[in-house]
Amino acid sequence: MGDPNNSQQPEDWLNLNSSSVDHIDLGTRRCRQVLQKLGLSKPPYEIFTVAGTNGKGSSVAMLDSILTGADYLTGRYTSPHLQQFNERISIAQNNSSDDHIVAAFNKIQTAANQVQPTGIKLTYFEYATLAALLLFAEAQVDVAILEVGLGGRLDAVNAVDADVSIITSIALDHQNWLGHDIASIAFEKAGVMRPDKPCILAESNMPDTLHAYALSIGAILIENGKDYLFSVVSGEQGNSWTWSDKTGTFKYALPALSGAIQIQNAAAVISAIRASDFIKISENNINHGLQHVRLTGRCQVKEVLNKTWILDVAHNPAALKQLTQNLESIAAPQKVNIIFGMLEDKNAQACIEILKPYVSNWIFVDLASSRARPASELAQIATECNIEKEYINVFASVNEACDQAQEHALRHILVCGSFYTVAAALDCLATA
């Protein structure tokens, strides 16, 4: 084991003292054992847990924006990060410092060494999750907003009980870990539910697996299309939208995040806030929070030297379908040039087929991850999707691809397929 006191940055510390970031070992037992040692089995703050295939990050950002604007001290935990590990853990919308995070890691490691005579080894994600929970307690936050990393039932975030949970969506992703059909994936995500606690189902017509699980444990389901409704309203002063339940109908400004799906996410967030016994806020707080929410890498548009860059971490078919809807309002009728990199466990063929009608030229890239699918393999899949080779390029890095696209591409350049792809592009564009 390395000396953690010599590691100043969280990633350095984790590389020395945890299993690899790419190592996945699902289960909450180790985290529960360490939380008990830390005296945090029942953390002293309200907990919102957000699970789902897509829409988690946006929902967490909206919750954080609304609650912070209403003067609640919030802790926000998300994953993965884009450019800096510290993005994962924020308090009052400020990323935690290296020193605070590393100090938390050291306390967690000490507690882990006391669990058994020989101690227990924690994963990268377990350390990150436990550090967030510990730092939130030390900062005496009012509310913790926790994004599930993978699934729900066996995710480290699920080591603590949610007071309110949200399941944003169910779609095929991470099948090697969560199951190869919608019912199996839904069962894993249902694990964030708790007896006698509300769980918001953000999509209408969610799988029956969720309803069966809720019934079996006595969770309180609040469902889109059944317990609350929302609709977009067009008017002379622009679009707005309404949210309604049995208490009445309320009108809100559109969320600052781009895309029609964000209204569905916002509706679930409002339902979650209203379902909480702890949170008391005004309609103005909700409006202000929705109008001022910010989130990097979600249909993010950047203008760089007369080119329009669209950056989105969408990495599965369902998310890319949503992205193409946004492209129609940003780039249509023009097609885009695309920089595309993807991890090996994703359905690359389905994703390329979805994007094909919107893309004129393809740039496939190698990513800085051991789990990445080689760019040459993505290019081969593209030819199998009947994309002509003259419209396909392959680069060994996102940086090279960005330089090439900035110089030669048409007006619109789309970057998507993975957090790794977007992160590297953001780094490149920051120096453009």
**Domain limits of the chain?**
4-292, 300-430
Of 58, 78, 214, 241, the closest CA to residue 146 belongs to 78
Mean pLDDT, rounded, for 170-179: 65
Output the pLDDT for position 36: 97
- CATH ID of 4-292, from 3.40.50.11060, 2.40.110.10, 3.40.1190.10, 1.10.287.110: 3.40.1190.10
Mean pLDDT, rounded, for 418-422: 96
Of 392, 396, 395, 372, the closest CA to residue 384 belongs to 392
Overall residue count recorded for the chain in this entry:
432
Output the pLDDT for position 71: 98
Bond before 333 cis per omega within 30 degrees: yes
- In sequence order, what are the residues at sequence separation of 6 or more whose Cβ sits closer than 8 angstroms to the Cβ of residue 430? none
Of 86, 222, 224, 56, the closest CA to residue 152 belongs to 56
Output the pLDDT for position 106: 97
Cα–Cα distance measured from residue 237 to residue 251, given in angstroms and rounded to the nearest whole number:
14
Mean pLDDT, rounded, for 351-369: 96
**Percent of the chain clearing pLDDT 90 (strictly above):** 79
Cα–Cα distance measured from residue 243 to residue 202, given in angstroms and rounded to the nearest whole number:
13
- Per-residue pLDDT of 389-409, as tens digits, reads 999 999 999 999 999 999 888
Does the pLDDT value for residue 147 go beyond 90? yes
Mean pLDDT, rounded, for 370-385: 96
Class of domain 300-430: alpha beta
- Per-residue pLDDT of 310-331, as tens digits, reads 999 999 999 999 999 888 888 8
Output the pLDDT for position 2: 45
pLDDT tier, 259 (very low <50, low <70, confident <90, very high otherwise): confident
Mean pLDDT, rounded, for 213-236: 92
pLDDT tier, 1 (very low <50, low <70, confident <90, very high otherwise): very low
Mean pLDDT, rounded, for 129-144: 99
Side-chain half-sphere CA neighbours of 415 within 13 A: 32
Mean pLDDT, rounded, for 122-142: 97
Does the pLDDT value for residue 363 go beyond 80? yes
- Per-residue pLDDT of 41-54, as tens digits, reads 999 999 999 999 99
Mean pLDDT of the chain: 92
